Every structure is written in C-alpha cells, then in structure tokens.
DNA sequence: TGCCCATCTGGCACCGAGTGCCAAGCAGGC
DNA sequence: GCCTGCTTGGCACTCGGTGCCAGATGGGCA
C-alpha cells in the first residue's frame, strides 16, 4: 500500500509541478488575470476539468504554499518554549520557517504580481487570516491565557499585527525592487508598531 | 444644474436605498452566497443589468460604506494636530468617525455574515487595505518622515496594525454576541500589541 | 407644441470561474 | 480475463460580471 501510494503520489506531484510551472510562466508573461484556466490546461496538456481536481482556484496556483506554510508556522511556534514572549517567538518561528527569506529573481516578479492583482491580494490575505487561527492558541498560552479563551483580544491582536507587519515588509520589499532586506524590514515594522509614543521615530 | 442634479440624484439615492434594503433582507434570510443577483434585481423590480449600474459587485451592497468611511477617516485624521502621536491620533479619528460604534440589532447579524462569508471577508480586508494608502501619508508626517517616503515601513506598519486591531475587535465583538464594548476591545487589542515583552501577562 | 440631446434602462450575447454528473480509460488484485 | 477503484475528459449548467445596442424618459430650448 505504501509503495504503490508513493507511485501515483509521485505522478500526481509531477502533474502539480507541471501545472504550476506552466501557469507561472504564463502569469509572468501575460499577467494573472489575462491568463485563463483554459489556456493553462491546454498548455499543460490536461483537460480543464482535471485542472480543478488539482487546484481549487486559479489563485491557489500562486498561493498554494501559504496554506502549508501556516501549518509549518504553527508547528514551529509550538516547538519554541512557552517562556519566550509572543513577539519574540513569532519572529523566531518566521526565521526558522524561512518566511523572511527572499530570492530576488522570480520572487520579486511574483510578489509584484501578488500586490498588484486584487483577487490575488485578497486571497493571500485570506490565507494569512487562517494563520491567525493556527497561531493564536499558542500565543494565548504565552500570555497566560487559556488556549481556547476566545473572548480576550490580546492574542488575536498580536498575531494579526505580526502578520500585518510581515505583509507590510513584503510590500516595501517589492517597492524597493528587492534591494532591501526582508527580515530587516519586518524588524523595523514591528519596532515602529511597538515603539512608545514618544518623539522621534 | 445644481437643483436638477439633486433631483435625479435623489431618485438615484432612492434606488440605492431600495436595492440595499431588499438585498440585506434577502442576505439575512438565506445567506449571502445563497442569494443571487437575479433574485435581488427581481425583488427590487429592476433589471439585472441596471443592478450593476448601482453596485459594481455583490459585495459592495454590504461593504459600500467602507470605501467612503476610508475617505472620512483620512479627512478626520488630517484634522488632528500633527503633534498627536500616531496611535493616539488613529484612535481619536476612529472615535470621531464612529468606527467604534455598534448597534447590536442588525449590525451583529451583518457582522457575523461578514466574518463567515469568505468572499465578503476578503473584500472587506481589501477595502481596509485601501484605508492604508489613505492614512499612511499623514502618519508618516507624525513620525517625522516625508509624506511620500515609500521606503520606510514604519507608517505602513502602524496603520496596518491599527486596522488589524480594529478587525480583531470586531471579530471578538461578534464572538461575544455583541455584549462586549467595541471601543474597549480595540483598546485592549492595541494595548496587547504594544505592551513590552515582560514576564507574565 | 414639438424637437433635441443626454441619460437611464432593459435585454441580449458573451466571457471566465467553478461545480455536478456521467461515461470511458487505466491501473492492480483475484 | 474479469472485477474494482480511481482518474480523466467532456458536457451542461450556474453565477458573477461586462460590452453593446436599441428604446424609453425627461428636461431644455425654440
């Protein structure tokens, strides 16, 4: 059962890769919205119907990683001792997962596309919101709350803000044409948010 | 020109109100996604085509206010002296605009719908992101930056986090069935985000 | 009163995303 | 070689949204 499984699992993964590769190429060439699913399916030599058996939506081709990365973030976060404070723990989890890494090549173009295409941006936010549900329980514990205390806004606020900072960092990163350092931008974002309301910046 | 304008402007606004009223009723009865535009148009006694002349998308019926509220927030924020620190200024602008007000009746059901309907949630976030562009320039000034310094993440991060806090507050508010105080939830959210990483909570 | 113009409206055809259904193909197990 | 289960493709359909055109409406003006 396990050998055979890995057989068509492998072929399935090959199809995934093929679709993704083909689609990404088309997206970067003609833009996301200008590329139809029929076109992707035709180029990948599968039927339109089969495409939807691999990807639920067109956006999932670009944002597929985000869902799994959320799980990864949760697991990583849970591996960090509860004695570590929330912001620090999130920052460390991001570092370990590699959410602060960037390879200027293709990534910049993809990022630009994500920030400029409304439907894509919306979906990416949506996926990030799912991170919230995944990470909040652990942050509650770090705040000394019950893991399922759904009436205290503290943990949700911290996670949500952290994700907002990550998003902003990515945004600025694309604005600078990928020249800035993503991790640094994130740190500066968090710093700005959490700095006391005194003079200077 | 001005008197006549107000004439068909009034009738136009009447149609707006009619559509909104009819649609909202249908949404609350059968859910957002279960209500088709044909149904709304038929109930409002207009053609499907005309509907789209009043609302660009189905979501706009529910979220129409958010766009104009963004403008209002910007204007309000700009009326607050630059000597007021960012977070404080945003908080004050929210208070003045009434973004922290809640009327438990219909509002709770609408809010629940918004948080439970993916497409609606996505669009609402999208609209909130437009707030960011509107509010950031003013916040930059409060930080001593140029109003169009697009390379510093600080202002974007603060605005984005504030909106995240507002969103979280609304979320918890609906979770509590509208019993909690929205302004209080927002304040607690901000407090949690900005509290120093000391031991305990 | 009658004409002119601008605007709003409805209806039609069309597109693209996404779903349900069913029949054909292609495994592997017995 | 047959049965079984999963995958595939194709078809028809729904729904949101757009472009286009023809007709109604109504106000301004001679």
Instruction: Check whether residue A122 and residue A140 sit in a common domain.
Output: yes
- Cα A30–A32–A35 angle (5° rounding)? 65
pLDDT of A8 higher than 90: no
CATH of the domain at A120: 1.10.357.10
Question: Residue A161 is nearest to which of B143, B144, B165, comparing CB atoms?
Answer: B165
Segment B92-146, tens digit of pLDDT: 999 999 877 877 788 899 999 999 998 899 899 889 989 999 999 999 999 999 9
- Cα A179–B132–B28 angle (5° rounding)? 135
Instruction: Check whether residue B39 and residue B93 sit in a common domain.
Output: no
Segment A46-68, tens digit of pLDDT: 999 999 999 999 999 999 889 88
Report pLDDT for B3.
40
More confident: A74 or B64: A74
Instruction: Check whether residue A46 and residue A107 sit in a common domain.
Output: no
Smallest CA-to-CA distance from B170 within B131, B134, B136, B128 is with B128
Residues 145 to 184 of A: which have CB under 8 A from any B CB?
Answer: 145, 150-158, 160-161, 163-165, 167-169, 171-172, 175-176, 180
Domain boundary pick from B36, B56, B76 = B56
Query: Whole-number Å distance, CA A142 to C1' D22?
Result: 67
Q: Give B45: exposed, middle or buried? Use CB within 10 Å, 0-12, 13-18, 19+.
A: exposed
Instruction: Check whether residue B97 and residue B7 sit in a common domain.
Output: no
Q: How confident is residue B11, by pLDDT bands cut at 50, 70 and 90?
A: confident
Which residues lie below 8 Å from residue A76, measured CB to CB, with a gap of 6+? Answer: A93, A96, A97
Instruction: Check whether residue A66 and residue A33 sit in a common domain.
Output: no
CB of A10 nearer than 7 A to strand D: no
pLDDT of A115 higher than 50: yes
Instruction: Check whether residue A72 and residue A167 sit in a common domain.
Output: yes
Q: Give A164: exposed, middle or buried? Use CB within 10 Å, 0-12, 13-18, 19+.
A: buried
Instruction: Check whether residue A160 and residue A90 sit in a common domain.
Output: yes
How close does chain A come to B7, measured CA to CA in Å?
A: 36
Average pLDDT over residues B68-88: 96
Query: Whole-number Å distance, CA B1 to C1' D20?
Result: 30
CATH of the domain at A24: 1.10.10.60
CB of A58 nearer than 7 A to strand C: yes
Report pLDDT for A12.
83
Identify whether A166 is part of a domain. yes
Instruction: Check whether residue A153 and residue A81 sit in a common domain.
Output: yes
Six-digit token pair at B47?
């053609």
Contact criterion met (CB below 8 Å) for B153 and B136: no
Is A157 in Cβ contact with B188 (below 8 Å)? yes
Query: Whole-number Å distance, CA A79 to C1' C8?
Result: 63
Instruction: Check whether residue B139 and residue B92 sit in a common domain.
Output: yes
- Domain containing B26 equals 1-56
How close does chain B come to A82, measured CA to CA in Å?
A: 11
Q: How confident is residue A7, by pLDDT bands cut at 50, 70 and 90?
A: low
Instruction: Check whether residue B80 and residue B173 sit in a common domain.
Output: yes
Nucleotide nearest to B123 (CA to C1'): D16
Domain boundary pick from B18, B41, B56 = B56
pLDDT of B13 higher than 90: no
How close does chain A come to B66, measured CA to CA in Å?
A: 16
pLDDT of B200 higher than 60: no
pLDDT of A201 higher than 70: no
Please report, for residues A119, A154, B6, B150, the alpha-carbon distance to residue A197 in angstroms, rounded to integers and kept in the order given.
36, 20, 46, 21
């Amino acid at each position: 059962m396990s050998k055979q499984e890995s057989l068509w699992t492998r072929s399935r993964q090959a199809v995934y890769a093929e679709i993704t590769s083909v689609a990404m190429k088309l997206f970067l060439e003609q833009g996301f919205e200008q590329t139809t699913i029929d076109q992707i399916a035709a180029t990948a030599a599968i039927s339109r119907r089969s495409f939807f058996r691999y990807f639920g939506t067109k956006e999932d081709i670009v944002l597929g990683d985000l869902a799994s990365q959320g799980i990864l973030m949760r697991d990583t976060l849970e591996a960090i001792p509860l004695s570590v404070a929330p912001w620090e723990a999130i920052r460390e989890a991001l570092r370990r997962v590699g959410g602060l890494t960037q390879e200027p090549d293709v990534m910049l173009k993809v990022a630009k596309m994500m920030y400029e295409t409304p439907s894509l941006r919306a979906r990416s936010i949506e996926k990030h919101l799912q991170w919230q549900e995944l990470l909040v329980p652990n942050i509650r514990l770090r705040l000394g709350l019950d893991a399922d205390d759904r009436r205290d806004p503290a943990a949700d606020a911290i996670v949500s803000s952290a994700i907002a900072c990550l998003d902003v960092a990515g945004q600025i990163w694309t604005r600078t044409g990928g020249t800035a350092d993503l991790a640094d931008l994130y740190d500066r974002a968090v710093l700005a948010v959490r700095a006391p309301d005194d003079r200077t910046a």
